[in-house]
Amino acid sequence: MLHLPPEGARVAVAGLVLVRQRPGTAKGVIFLTLEDEFGVCNVIIWQKIYQRFRRAVIAGRLLRVTGRMQRQSGVTHVVAEMVEDISPMLDDLVRLHPGARAADQP
């Protein structure tokens, strides 16, 4: 779905955090990969945004990120402006579907 908005469009994405990367050569930039039922989304979090939303970026299992679309060399990213930890929604899913937890057990 991220192929639809134009470059620079403001979007909101949400998904499970698959990967957090903070390469030493990236000057404090953090890269996240989020996954939802449609696929994965790459997120760039600049140092200033990281400092503002540090707890969510570090601890969140399910995040909603609002930011701007960026396309470079065929790769689409969302450059974060706001990061929200919506992990408690995962607990709501278990309460709404109590059999789901049992189905995950071996």
Q: Tell me, yes or no, whether 3 lies in a domain.
A: no
pLDDT of residue 1: 60
| CA-wise closest residue to 68 among 58, 77, 59 | 77
Q: Tell me, yes or no, whether 2 lies in a domain.
A: no
Tens digits of pLDDT across the chain (106 residues): 677 787 889 999 999 999 999 888 778 899 999 999 889 999 999 999 999 999 999 999 999 999 999 988 888 899 999 999 999 988 887 776 666 555 455 5
Q: How many domains does the chain have?
A: 1
Q: Tell me, yes or no, whether 5 lies in a domain.
A: no
Q: Tell me, yes or no, whether 1 lies in a domain.
A: no
Close Cβ partners of 47 (under 8 Å, ≥ 6 residues apart): 27, 28, 29
Q: Tell me, yes or no, whether 21 lies in a domain.
A: yes
What's the pTM value of the predicted model, to 2 decimals?
A: 0.82
Where residue 44 sits, what CATH number does that domain have? 2.40.50.140
Q: Tell me, yes or no, whether 41 lies in a domain.
A: yes
Host domain of residue 20: 10-104
